[in-house]
Structures are given as structure tokens and as C-alpha cells.
Amino acid sequence: MNQEWSLDPLYKGYDDPDFIRDMDLVPAKIEEFRKVVASLGQGEVKEDLIACLKAQEELEAFSYRLMLFLNLKQSVNSADEHAASGMAKVGMRMSTLGKDFTVAEKWIASIEDLQAVIDSDPFLKEYEYRLQRIKKDSAHLLGDDVEDVISRLDLSAGRAWGDLQTYLTSSVEVDYNGETTTLSGIRNMAYEEDPAIRKAAYEAELACYPKIADSVAFALNNIKSQVNTITELRGFASPLDMTLDQAHMTRATLEAMLASINKYLPKFHEYLKAKAKLLGHKNGLPWYDLFAPVGNSNRKFTTEEAKEYLLDHFRPFAADLADMVEEAFDNAWIDFFPRKGKSGGAFCAGSPTSKRSWILTNYDGTLGDVVTLAHELGHAYHNHCLEGNRPLNMDYSMPVAETASTFNEVVIMSAAIAEAEGDAKMALVESQLQDATQIICDIYSRYLFESAVFAERQESFLFAPRLKELMMDAQKKAYGDGLDHECLHPYMWVCKGHYYSSGLSFYNFPYAFGGLFARGLYAKYLEEGEAFLPKYRALLKATPTSEVEDVAGIAGIDLTQPEFWDKSLEMIARDIDLFIRLAEEKQQ
């Protein structure tokens, strides 16, 4: 089994003739699209609209393949000069199309009876949702020249600041035990069985951040300032309102979910205090023990064992999911292990034309790492379910982006817990609660932090000490007395890349949404059995072409009502009660 991914289905390397040819073709492809846009309105409306969409399909497939290859190359080597220069070259040229996209969208929005035109052609019918969204969103478009300037300047503004954060966090050296290691490597040590190692790793991690904190603070400030400016220019009341619009989600859904989360936060605090007591702490759980293994959790999985473990639990649920997982392991879809220059964390990136996904992890062999694999393979399965969609119907919004990934986690952990006993059961329950606490307490703290940063950035620059204060305030509110307030993590804003996108704000609450939505869907699966699977696949397929609330409607769910979210959280509450009971028995 390969330990690193293969990018051969995209290009075989920088010297691949296809890669060299495509890099040279970028200006011609851009000019082809520009000519189509310039001709809009000169012919019959339906034919012009079809030509515009097909030209965009071709440009999207062409540019996405190049940028995906370059991004994947850089993600495993932040010092890759070829990748950096290639992305800059393609990105700069593609950014010149901002005005052309605006012209095309404004022309589409100006079509008087757009629905009648859509209904007249099966090709256009497939893009009905996209076209109607363009018409709706046109109210927030700016002048053609302004859109062009925003697109071009973002390369050396928001995106560049984001690249700086990625570079600094992937290359900073961490001093530990007389040697140096990477940030992702030291963070992986939070799962070590030895408490002394966990604490020492936490202290070493915090000690490395001052080397880069001021630079990363500038990145965060300038990205959020840029988003604040664009929010105002586009006529949105706040960055959150703009994000909800981009997410195709209503505020009513977000408020219903947050209300339920606040209602159940004390239950999570009970879990954290029970774990703290089990580990010998009196004032809540110190940060460095958030991921401490409990029970018989010292098992390490080789990559081959991880594969078999996932297949054993996915096969009874859905054969097509298990087949895809097997292919991912066997055909080098996954880059497993941490190394210097490689991005931290984990992600999945798909390619519709290649009918495969690429998964990056920083695998250390723990059960948590196996669950991370399941999570990212869920994204891959989501991509798999989209393969029949048109090329421009592939991008789903943030909230539903975590649905299939978290559903995978629930499938794996529910099956594993059901078959375990004794210390093994306790370890699995606790592992699941670790993840649930991350998507509820930690994600809520990130939501509170980002909201505060956006608000304060309207009036002032936030230096690193203020950002640390805001992060600790958010953690205290979200984790309550479940954590030891003398041992928090004031630098979480430095290491989490989700804050550093100029085009995607509040990439936090979607994780809570995905986790709770997935649990609600799993409850439906338990009720309906195999009859649920066609609905599940249809739901995933519809994510790029429906509002979030309509996606949920396929499974008969009303997201604007707290009752749905309460039921999902109640599933976690039952696991917390089970953990507390097991912990008490262990201490007797």
C-alpha cells in the first residue's frame, strides 16, 4: 500500500507534456471564454445562455485540474517553488476574468422570463438552481470594474495573507526534548498515553507560537478587514449575513441550531468534568488532556489495519461506500504521514473528471486518526455521489459540506461501540465524545471568536495579545467549568487555517451543523433501514443544487425547528451518561 498519494491522474509531474501544454494554454482558454461573454445578447437568448454555460464548464474543468494539481503539490511541501509560482501564474491570469464573470451574471440576471427560457431546454433545466441563484444574487453584485479589481487584488491581499499563515504554521520549528519537530507532529502528541508527554508537548506547542504570532496576527487582521469592506460594499448587514447567503442557509436554521447547542452545553461540561476527575484533575480538564486516551485505547493501527477496520464497518451499511474506500487505499488516494513542510490537519479534494479524490492526513495510528480517515473518506463519498452532476453543479455550500464526512464517523463509531465491552467500550465512547465536544464546544468557541474579531476589526487593529484574550474568552464561554481556566489554549487562532480565507468566513458552525445533521440522518437510517440509503444518496447529490433546508427536506427534516437539533444532541447526551456511568464504575 502506498503511503503517499499519486497525482498521476492529474499530471505525472512538472515535466509532464500535458502539464506544460496546459500551463501554456491558460491565456487562450481565458480568451475563448472572454469572447463568448462579449457576444452575449447579440443572438437568441437561449442559445447565448447555453453557449455561456458550456464555455464556463470548459474553463472550470481546465483551470480546476491545474490548480488542484498545484495545490496538492504545495500541501505536502510548502517550500515547493514550482507549485507556488504555478499557482501565482494561473491565479493571476484567472483573476482577470472577474469583470467577465460579472458581465455574464448581470446578463443572466437581466433575462426577463428566465424560468421560461430554462424550461425550454433540458441542458438549461439542469442548471435551474444555479441560474435562479445568479438572478437572486445579482442584487449584491458591484460594478464590472469594481468586481474586476476585487478579484485581482485578492491575489496579493486576502489569498496572500492566507498563504502566509499556511507557510508559517507548516514550517515553524518546535523545540521538544532536545530536538526539533513540526507543529503538526507536536499537536499529534496530544493523543499520547503518557500524561507527561501530553503536557510537555502542549507546553512546547505554546512556546513555539510567539515566533510566528505577530505575523499571523497581521494576516488575520487584514483578511477580516478585507471581508468587512466587501460585506459593506455588497450591501450585507454583516459578514455572517453574507456567509449565510453564500451557504444557501437561513438565519432561522442557524439560530435554531445555536439555541439547541446552548441548551445542551452543560451536558458537555458534565462529560469534561467526569473525564477530569477520572484523570485526577480537580478544577476541570486542562487543555492538554482534552484528547487524553481513556480506557483501553492504546491500540495503534497500521494503515492496512485502518483499511480493514473501515471496510468491516462500512460494508454492512453501504457496499458502494466500502468499494470506494477500498479503492482509495489501494490506488494511492491518500497521503498519510506528517513530514516537514506538509500542511497540518486533514482534508479531501475531489476531481470530477478523474472520478477520484485525494486525501491528506497526518496519520499517527490512533483510533482518532482512523476516524479522521473515515471523515475524509466521507467527503470522497460525497464527491462520488456528485459524479452524475453537470460540471458547474459540483460545489456544495459550507453547512452540508460536513454531512457525509460526519455521517461516516457516526457509522464507524456506533458499530464499534455496539460490539465492544469493558475498557474497550469506554475508550470508544470517550473517543466519540472527544469528537462531539470538538464540533460543539470547540466549534462554538471558534464561532464566538470569529464574531468578536469581525466586530472589533471594524474599529481597531487586534494585536496578538488581544487575539489571545478573545480566544480564551470564547473558550471559557463554550467549555464553561468543564475546562480548567488556568490551562486553556490562547493560540488556537494561529494554527487553525479556517480563519484565513478572504472568500469563506465562519468556517466553524458548518462543522456543528454537519455533526448534528449527520446524527439526525443516522437516526433516520436506524428507523428506516435500507430504504433510507436512496434518500441519503439523493440528498448528497442535491447539495449543490438546493437550499440547505430543501436538502434536509428530502429526508423529511425541518431544520428551522429546535426539535430536530434537540434530538441529535440528545443522542450525544446519552453517550455522555454512558461515559459518566462507566467512569464511576472504573473509580469504584
Phi and psi for 523 in degrees, rounded to 5? -60, -40
d(CA 321, CA 149): 44
Number of neighbouring beta carbons within 10 Å of residue 170:
22
Find, among 431, 553, 445, the residue nearest to 498 by Cα: 445
> Which amino acid does the sequence have at 557?
I
559 in Cβ contact with 552 (< 8 Å): yes
**What torsion do the CA atoms of 253, 258, 261, 266 make, to the nearest 10 degrees?**
-160
The secondary element (H helix, E strand) that includes residue 95 is: helix 81-95
pLDDT per residue, tens digit, the chain (588 aa), is: 789 999 999 999 999 999 999 999 999 999 999 999 999 999 999 999 999 999 999 999 999 999 999 999 999 998 899 999 999 999 989 988 988 998 999 999 999 999 999 999 999 999 999 999 999 998 888 887 888 889 888 989 999 999 999 999 999 999 999 999 999 999 999 989 899 999 999 999 999 999 999 999 999 999 999 999 999 999 999 999 999 999 999 999 999 999 999 999 999 999 999 999 999 999 999 999 999 988 876 678 999 999 999 999 999 899 999 999 999 999 999 999 999 899 888 999 998 777 899 999 999 998 778 989 999 999 999 999 999 899 999 988 888 988 999 899 888 888 878 878 888 889 889 988 998 999 999 999 999 999 999 999 999 999 999 999 999 999 999 999 999 999 999 999 999 999 999 999 999 999 899 999 999 999 889 889 999 999 999 999 999 999 999 999 999 999 999 999 999 999 999 999 999 999 998 887
The secondary element (H helix, E strand) that includes residue 134 is: helix 128-137
Q: What is the DSSP string of 216-241?
A: HHHHHHHHHHHHHHHHHHTT-SSHHH
Find, among 21, 9, 7, the residue nearest to 75 by Cα: 7
What was the pLDDT predicted at 297? 61
The C-alpha cell at 473 is: 474568552
> Where are the alpha helices (H) located in 247-394, listed in sequence order?
251-278, 303-314, 319-330, 367-385
- Can you give the C-alpha Rg of the chain in angstroms? 24
What was the pLDDT predicted at 300? 86
Domain formed by 17-148, architecture: Up-down Bundle (1.20)
The 8-class DSSP code of residue 285 comes to B
Q: What are the residue boundaries of the structural domains of the chain, listed by start?
A: 17-148
Q: Grid cell 459518566 — which residue?
A: 580
What was the pLDDT predicted at 587? 83
d(CA 206, CA 190): 13
